């Protein structure tokens, strides 16, 4: 993403005027494609919001705000931030307006977008509440999709009392690219200053510019610049009497494309085009040379020539097009300019055949001071005469993308893959194909892979039918269902055959991994035209989706057999690599593994945040259903009924291991830093919310109905009774600054809340299925101790999600010590973990290419395999861990922790260490193997992490200690 300009302050009246202007269609000048300044107002309270760990945000009502509400934060210090996920509908250049509420408590912030600072810091302090618009010019997005707008506190006004922010709305106004032809209008129309972009033309009665008909072009109206007399002989740009300049109202910086069709007559010397910035600096020139018979019919590219010097001062002029070029031939010239590197590429094509006449790359700017595209000029050198003709002029931003050159580094390839480009039909990112060891080049390559698929041969002497270990004999009476059991100081899962079982699951084991159709070449554009590839397309929801996995299987096995072969191959892969279960997020595939493949044990996920029950936790990534609402248990029963409808024998299915409840619900808030956030969310709820009614009643009883005593500790403003607390939506409550007594109350109530939630959920599941285990609740590490103690009363296994290189055994040892005496058979699993090989650009397949989250990133394929081994062997070495789920099988939605490429290929450098480690885990867990793989970290500090969505570009320094690990959802680990 690139930028040009600074944030400027405007009054609210100006801001409202701007909004009206943004939705007005700008009058385009004749011949320029109709220009629409497409404006979108995005309310802050409707966006996904993340704040610094330990801080909070709240939506509050205000009749002066644009939508009746705004989003405010309590950031409370420098370097704290609030980040908004802002949808951008289409790539291009935009003006951006932030509608900000200024208050006594608001600080000074720096806006950044996707990690790039925009303009100057903004002081949002005001002595009395007011609204103001902060304006930013010409921000360019290379791709559509979600962009992360971050307000980082950099200080505050001396009169300000805090470091908060108040954001009302964000207004995005698209500045479309310029596309100019001359089919309508006259010279006077062109120079109309009311046009969105306009021409400056110069001339005299004998010389100048005009629009003429040219029969050599299909769209026959073109711009002619002509001069009757060459005049003086020096090389000065002849701008005063013969030139035409397209001046852009909005400059384009970063990376830009400028193209035009042009031809010249076979006489009169040099006709020139120039790309000029807003200060007059020239980035590139191109000229046709017919001067005095020298270099007839050649096109030149100027390098480092001073315009005002004599001819003898001209240096480093490169001949671009050979003498085979013909005068009067229309050619299309395309410049791709990089204003950061101060270089450009140029391509010249024959417009009739589209053949490349010549191409040059990495040319130094004519003037290295050039900083943007402000104008495209056509004209003569002073000693030249005759005519030149121009048409089809186009100027647009390229964002920060591009095609890598031959000597680009791996990390640079990755950076480019995040910022644009197209996949091929096989799911491979095309600019990265030259860097792949063995890319798919044809359907035959796919067919050749059929014979190489792993074939799993079940060893019934070593393993039972569920993947349990027969070695050492049974540890429990055969029969029944999966359960836990302590044996010789080690917790195990037990299979229905009574054998030891260490859960080694793969999540998202499904073929439904999609890339955008719009970012994929050489495939049918729609389902209707897809023929046998129709199963690779979707027919509802977002239709811009294509599954290279399914398409490649159809190419390999045909439309009829692709699905059964996918399940057979995937079963054989997973079993051969040492996995023994289908993990979470595989709902669409679970039963097909049982019917189209030999079958594998599996879990069923119940994601409570999907329930229609009113939620608690508006400030949290995963909201929690109100556990006091009677709709919750009925909804859970309905979910299980749906599973039973799919598998009528599920309640007695021995392959079902457990129901896994929840997904990263922060019952205790932002653990380790703000454990009482749920209290603030309950207070802001309406009186009808049953959890709020329960909490108020509980507080009344706790304080013996003494509101004065209660509020002496809680200090809630503008309430005079418990009824007021119930009936008032209390915003801005900050638990962190309350008394120790109040915090004790909060802790006790959260434990009550957790007990209610876990109890209701498990009772509802057991009512429908009393046979199978219940695991919960996929905690984001680290939950508070009292939440772990509560969960152990209800769940058979405690599940934790963590993305890191280390297992942090000391923390899990602590959790185990909390519950060992009272619940010795409750084991632990890691329900999600994963690592990313950042050297694999062809894994980058997210819908939004520049919207990537980094989850334990590593430099190489080999290091990913080694890190996986160190992680899972450390788990197996812990006596209370009973397994894990790896996240995930294919890359999707901007997460690249997969073991398989989106084309369905896998790398031996990754899967071989995975297989070797998986096959050692049972022996490590029972103590037969005592030497385990070490924990592996990246070589140095990976910068840019610690956000909800960490961004490329990143750097891996040659040395350094990686001592901070971050969860992809933005939670800090203990070191922080």
pLDDT tens across 216-227, in order? 655 567 777 766
- Mean pLDDT, residues 494-504 taken together: 98
Considering the domain architecture, whether residues 359 and 314 belong to the same structural domain is answered as: yes
How far is 224 from 394, CA to CA, in rounded Å?
Answer: 17
Q: Which residues fall within 8 angstroms of residue 442, CB to CB, at 6 or more apart?
A: none
pLDDT for res 855: 67
How far is 333 from 245, CA to CA, in rounded Å?
Answer: 17
Pick 883 or 161 by higher pLDDT.
883
Contact 899, 889 (CB under 8 A): yes
Q: Which residues fall within 8 angstroms of residue 491, CB to CB, at 6 or more apart?
A: 484, 485, 825, 827, 879, 880, 881, 882
pLDDT tens across 914-958, in order? 999 999 999 999 999 999 999 887 654 333 322 222 222 222 222
CA angle 318, 319, 320 (to 5 degrees): 105
CB atoms under 10 Å from CB of 672, counted, come to: 19
Q: Is 183 helix (H, G, I), strand (E, B) or coil?
A: coil
CB atoms under 10 Å from CB of 170, counted, come to: 18
Considering the domain architecture, whether residues 221 and 249 belong to the same structural domain is answered as: no
Pick 255 or 883 by higher pLDDT.
883
Split at pLDDT 50, 70, 90, the class of 301 is low
How far is 961 from 534, CA to CA, in rounded Å?
Answer: 49
Considering the domain architecture, whether residues 73 and 105 belong to the same structural domain is answered as: yes
Which residue reads 């951006």 in tokens? 96
pLDDT for res 9: 32
Q: Which of 523, 556, 555, 550 is nearest to 536 (CA)?
A: 550
Is residue 844 in a domain? no
The domain of 200 spans 196-226
Pick 877 or 516 by higher pLDDT.
877
Q: Are strands 356-364 and 343-350 parallel, antiparallel or unpaired?
A: antiparallel
Q: Which one of 768, 803, 835 terminates a domain? A: 768
Q: Taking all residues of the chain, what is their mean pLDDT, rounded to a whole number?
A: 77
Contact 935, 871 (CB under 8 A): yes
- Mean pLDDT, residues 36-58 taken together: 81
Instruction: Say if residue 209's pLDDT is above 80.
Output: no
Q: Which of 574, 725, 771, 747 is nearest to 674 (CA)?
A: 747
Instruction: Say if residue 307's pLDDT is above 60.
Output: no
Which residue reads 């397994």 in tokens? 883
Is residue 394 in a domain? yes
Contact 762, 741 (CB under 8 A): no
Is residue 874 in a domain? no
pLDDT for res 754: 94
Contact 580, 589 (CB under 8 A): no
Overall domain count for the chain: 5
Split at pLDDT 50, 70, 90, the class of 783 is confident
Tokens, residue 13: 């009246």
Q: Which of 361, 357, 356, 177 is nearest to 284 (CA)?
A: 361
pLDDT tens across 82-122, in order? 999 999 888 777 878 899 999 999 999 999 999 888 877 88
How far is 729 from 59, CA to CA, in rounded Å?
Answer: 11
Considering the domain architecture, whether residues 170 and 57 belong to the same structural domain is answered as: yes
Considering the domain architecture, whether residues 397 and 326 belong to the same structural domain is answered as: no
pLDDT tens across 256-279, in order? 888 888 876 655 566 778 888 888
Q: Which residues fall within 8 angstroms of residue 673, CB to CB, at 6 or more apart?
A: 53, 54, 972
Report the share of the chain in percent with pLDDT over 90.
39
How far is 72 from 731, CA to CA, in rounded Å?
Answer: 10
pLDDT for res 488: 94
Contact 732, 738 (CB under 8 A): no
Pick 581 or 962 by higher pLDDT.
581
* Alpha carbon distances (Å) from 223 to 33, 164, 180: 16, 56, 10
Report the share of the chain in percent with pLDDT over 70.
72
119-133, 407-421, 427-441, 756-770 — which one is most confidently predicted on average? Answer: 756-770
Instruction: Say if residue 442's pLDDT is above 90.
Output: yes
Considering the domain architecture, whether residues 48 and 123 belong to the same structural domain is answered as: yes
pLDDT tens across 947-960, in order? 222 222 222 222 22
Instruction: Say if residue 422's pLDDT is above 50.
Output: yes
Is residue 960 in a domain? yes
pLDDT tens across 453-475, in order? 999 998 988 999 999 999 889 99
- Mean pLDDT, residues 552-577 taken together: 96
Q: Which of 802, 800, 799 is nearest to 773 (CA)?
A: 799
**What DSSP string runs through 415-474?**
HHHTT---B-TTS-BGGGGGGSSS---SHHHHHHHGGGS------TTTB-TTS-B-TT--
pLDDT tens across 698-710, in order? 999 999 999 999 9
* Alpha carbon distances (Å) from 385 to 287, 307, 849: 13, 18, 49
Q: Which of 107, 93, 87 is nearest to 148 (CA)?
A: 87
pLDDT for res 678: 85
Contact 156, 103 (CB under 8 A): no
Pick 689 or 213 by higher pLDDT.
689
Q: Which one of 768, 792, 815 terminates a domain? A: 768
Considering the domain architecture, whether residues 43 and 157 belong to the same structural domain is answered as: yes
Considering the domain architecture, whether residues 46 and 167 belong to the same structural domain is answered as: yes
Tokens, residue 1: 């993403």
Q: Is the peptide bond before 830 cis (omega within 30 degrees of 0)?
A: no
pTM: 0.59
Contact 660, 604 (CB under 8 A): yes
Q: Are strands 827-833 and 881-886 parallel, antiparallel or unpaired?
A: parallel
Considering the domain architecture, whether residues 262 and 378 belong to the same structural domain is answered as: no
Split at pLDDT 50, 70, 90, the class of 409 is very low
How far is 806 from 933, CA to CA, in rounded Å?
Answer: 12
Pick 906 or 232 by higher pLDDT.
906
How far is 838 from 437, CA to CA, in rounded Å?
Answer: 15
Contact 343, 364 (CB under 8 A): yes
Instruction: Say if residue 694's pLDDT is above 90.
Output: yes
Tokens, residue 245: 């300049």
Pick 231 or 149 by higher pLDDT.
149
Instruction: Say if residue 690's pLDDT is above 50.
Output: yes
**Max Cα-Cα span within the chain:** 106
Which residue reads 């029972």 in tokens? 926
Is residue 902 in a domain? no
Instruction: Say if residue 34's pLDDT is above 70.
Output: no
Which residue reads 């296994």 in tokens? 797
Q: What are phi and psi of 106, to 5 degrees?
A: -95, 145
Is residue 67 in a domain? yes
pLDDT for res 919: 96
Which residue reads 């073929």 in tokens? 511
CA dihedral of 663, 668, 669, 670, whole degrees rounded to 10: -90
Q: Which residues fall within 8 angstroms of residue 279, CB to CB, at 6 or more apart?
A: 369, 371
Q: Which residues fall within 8 angstroms of residue 880, CB to CB, at 6 or more apart?
A: 491, 812, 816, 820, 827, 828
Which residue reads 């954001």 in tokens? 167
pLDDT tens across 627-674, in order? 999 999 999 999 999 999 999 999 999 999 999 998 888 776 554 456
Which residue reads 């962190």 in tokens? 736
Q: What are phi and psi of 454, to 5 degrees?
A: -60, 145
Instruction: Say if residue 150's pLDDT is above 50.
Output: yes
Q: Which of 362, 360, 365, 391 is nearest to 378 (CA)?
A: 391
CB atoms under 10 Å from CB of 908, counted, come to: 10
Q: Would you give the distance in Å from CA 572 to the centre of its chain?
A: 32
Instruction: Say if residue 765's pLDDT is above 90.
Output: yes
48-62, 290-304, 565-579, 595-609 — which one is most confidently predicted on average? Answer: 565-579
**What DSSP string runs through 539-589?**
SSS----B-HHHHHHHHHH-TTTHHHHHHHHHHHHHHHTT--EE-SS-TTT
Q: Which one of 768, 798, 833 terminates a domain? A: 768
pLDDT for res 53: 80
Which helix H or strand E contains 868, and what residues bound it?
A: helix 861-877
Sign of CA dihedral 227, 231, 237, 239: negative
Considering the domain architecture, whether residues 712 and 737 belong to the same structural domain is answered as: yes
Q: What is the DSSP letter of 943?
A: T
Pick 135 or 828 by higher pLDDT.
828
Q: What are phi and psi of 824, to 5 degrees?
A: -65, -20
Instruction: Say if residue 791's pLDDT is above 60.
Output: yes
Q: For the chain, give the number of residues.
A: 976
How far is 417 from 512, CA to CA, in rounded Å?
Answer: 22
Considering the domain architecture, whether residues 222 and 149 belong to the same structural domain is answered as: no
Contact 475, 485 (CB under 8 A): yes
Phi-psi map region of 782: left, alpha, beta (phi>0 left; psi -120 to 50 alpha)? beta
Instruction: Say if residue 540's pLDDT is above 90.
Output: no
Contact 553, 562 (CB under 8 A): yes
Is residue 429 in a domain? no
Q: Is 737 helix (H, G, I), strand (E, B) or coil?
A: helix
Q: Which of 565, 508, 509, 560 is nearest to 535 (CA)?
A: 560
- Mean pLDDT, residues 519-534 taken together: 92
Q: Would you give the distance in Å from CA 50 to the centre of its chain?
A: 14
Q: Which of 543, 516, 548 is nearest to 422 (CA)?
A: 516
Q: Which residues of 730-745 are buried (b: 16+ CB within 10 A; e: fewer)?
A: bebbbbbebeeebbeb
Split at pLDDT 50, 70, 90, the class of 22 is very low
Is residue 5 in a domain? no
pLDDT tens across 179-208, in order? 666 665 565 555 554 444 556 665 444 455
Which helix H or strand E contains 376, and what residues bound it?
A: strand 373-380
pLDDT for res 239: 43
Q: How buried is 277 (Cβ within 10 angstroms: 0-12 exposed, 13-18 middle, 19+ buried)?
A: buried
- Mean pLDDT, residues 829-841 taken together: 78
Considering the domain architecture, whether residues 107 and 157 belong to the same structural domain is answered as: yes
Contact 62, 99 (CB under 8 A): no
Q: Tell me the CATH number at 288.
A: 2.60.120
């Amino acid at each position: 993403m690139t930028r040009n300009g600074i944030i400027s302050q405007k009054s609210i009246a100006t801001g409202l005027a701007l909004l009206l202007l943004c939705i007005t269609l700008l009058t385009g000048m004749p011949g320029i494609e109709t220009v629409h300044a497409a404006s979108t107002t995005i309310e802050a309270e409707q966006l996904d919001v993340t704040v610094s760990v330990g801080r909070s945000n709240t939506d509050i009502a205000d009749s002066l705000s644009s939508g009746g509400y705004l989003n405010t934060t309590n950031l409370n210090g420098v370097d704290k931030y609030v980040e908004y996920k802002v949808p951008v509908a289409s790539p291009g250049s935009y003006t951006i307006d932030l509608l900000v509420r200024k208050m006594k408590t608001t600080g000074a912030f720096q806006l950044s977008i996707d990690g790039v600072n925009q303009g100057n810091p903004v002081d949002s302090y005001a002595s009395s509440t007011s609204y103001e618009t902060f304006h930013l010019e010409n921000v360019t997005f290379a791709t559509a999709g979600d962009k992360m707008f971050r307000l980082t506190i950099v200080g505050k006004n001396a009169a300000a009392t805090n470091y908060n922010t108040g954001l009302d709305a964000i207004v995005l106004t698209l500045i479309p690219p310029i596309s100019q032809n001359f089919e309508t209008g006259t010279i006077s129309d062109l120079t109309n200053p009311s046009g969105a972009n306009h021409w400056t033309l110069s001339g005299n009665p004998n010389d100048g510019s005009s629009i003429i008909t040219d029969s050599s072009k299909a769209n026959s109206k073109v711009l002619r610049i002509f001069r009757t007399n060459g005049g003086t002989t020096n090389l000065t740009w002849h701008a005063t009497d013969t030139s035409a300049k397209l001046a852009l109202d909005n400059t384009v910086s970063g990376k830009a494309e400028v193209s035009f069709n042009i031809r010249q007559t076979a006489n009169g010397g040099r006709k020139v085009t120039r790309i000029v910035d807003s200060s007059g600096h020239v980035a590139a020139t191109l000229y046709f040379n017919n001067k005095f018979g020298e270099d007839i019919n050649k096109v030149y590219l100027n390098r480092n020539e001073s315009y005002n010097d004599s001819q003898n001062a001209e240096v480093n002029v490169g001949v671009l097009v050979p003498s085979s070029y013909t005068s009067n031939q229309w050619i299309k010239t395309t410049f791709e300019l990089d204003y950061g590197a101060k270089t450009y590429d140029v391509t010249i094509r024959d417009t009739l055949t589209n053949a490349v006449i010549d191409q040059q790359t990495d040319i130094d700017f004519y003037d290295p001071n050039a900083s943007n595209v402000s104008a495209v000029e056509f004209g003569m050198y002073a000693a030249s005469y005759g005519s030149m003709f121009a048409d089809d002029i186009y100027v647009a931003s390229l964002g920060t993308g591009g095609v890598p050159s031959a000597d680009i580094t791996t990390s640079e390839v990755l950076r480019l893959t995040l910022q644009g480009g197209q996949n091929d039909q096989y799911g491979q990112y095309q600019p990265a194909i030259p860097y792949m060891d063995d890319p798919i080049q044809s359907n035959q390559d796919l067919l050749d892979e059929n014979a190489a698929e792993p074939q799993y041969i079940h060893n019934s002497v070593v393993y039972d039918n569920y993947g349990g270990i027969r070695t050492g004999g049974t540890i429990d009476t055969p029969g029944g269902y999966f359960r836990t059991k302590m044996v010789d100081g080690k917790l195990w899962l037990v299979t229905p055959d009574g054998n030891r079982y260490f859960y080694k699951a793969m999540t998202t084991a499904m073929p439904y991994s999609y890339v955008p159709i719009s970012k994929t070449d050489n495939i049918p554009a729609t389902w209707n035209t897809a023929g046998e590839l129709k199963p690779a397309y979707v027919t509802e929801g977002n239709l811009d989706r294509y599954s290279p996995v399914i398409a490649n299987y159809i190419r390999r096995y045909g439309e009829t057999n692709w699905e059964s072969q996918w399940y057979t191959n995937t079963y054989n892969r997973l079993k051969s690599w040492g996995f023994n279960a289908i993990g979470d997020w595989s709902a669409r595939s679970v039963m097909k593994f049982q019917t189209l493949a030999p079958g594998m044990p599996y879990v069923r996920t119940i994601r409570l945040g999907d329930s229609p029950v009113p939620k608690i936790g508006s400030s949290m990534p995963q909201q929690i259903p109100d556990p006091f609402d009677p709709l919750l248990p009925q909804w859970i029963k309905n979910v299980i009924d749906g599973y039973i409808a799919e598998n009528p024998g599920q309640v007695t299915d021995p392959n079902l291991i457990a129901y896994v409840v929840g997904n990263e619900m922060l019952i205790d808030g932002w653990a380790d830093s703000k454990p009482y956030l749920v209290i603030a969310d309950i207070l802001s709820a309406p009186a009808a919310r049953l959890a709020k009614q329960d909490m108020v009643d509980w507080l009344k009883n706790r304080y013996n109905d003494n509101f004065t005593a209660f509020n002496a500790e809680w200090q809630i403003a503008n309430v005079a009774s418990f009824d007021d607390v119930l009936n008032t939506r209390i915003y801005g409550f900050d638990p962190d600054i309350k008394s120790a007594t109040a915090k004790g109350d909060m802790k006790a109530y959260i434990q009550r809340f957790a007990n209610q939630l876990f109890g209701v959920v498990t009772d509802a599941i057991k009512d429908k299925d009393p046979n199978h285990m219940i695991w919960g609740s996929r905690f984001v590490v680290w939950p508070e101790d009292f939440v772990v103690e509560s969960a152990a009363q209800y769940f058979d296994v405690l599940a934790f999600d963590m993305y890191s290189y280390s297992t942090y055994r000391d923390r899990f040892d602590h959790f185990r010590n909390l519950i060992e005496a009272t619940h010795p058979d409750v084991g632990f699993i890691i329900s999600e973990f994963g690592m990313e090989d950042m050297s694999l650009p062809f894994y980058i397949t997210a819908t939004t290419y520049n919207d990537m989250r980094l989850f334990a990133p590593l430099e190489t394929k080999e290091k990913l395999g080694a890190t996986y081994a160190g992680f899972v062997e450390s788990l197996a070495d812990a006596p209370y861990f009973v397994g894990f789920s790896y996240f995930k099988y294919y890359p999707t939605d901007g997460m690249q922790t997969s073991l398989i490429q989106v084309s369905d290929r896998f790398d031996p450098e990754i899967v071989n260490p995975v297989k070797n480690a998986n096959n050692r885990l049972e022996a490590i867990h029972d103590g037969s193997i005592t030497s385990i793989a070490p924990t592996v970290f990246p070589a140095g500090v990976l910068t840019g992490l610690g956000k909800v969505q960490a961004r490329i570009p990143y750097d891996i320094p040659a040395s350094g200690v990686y001592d901070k690990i971050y969860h992809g959802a933005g939670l800090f680990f203990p070191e922080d």
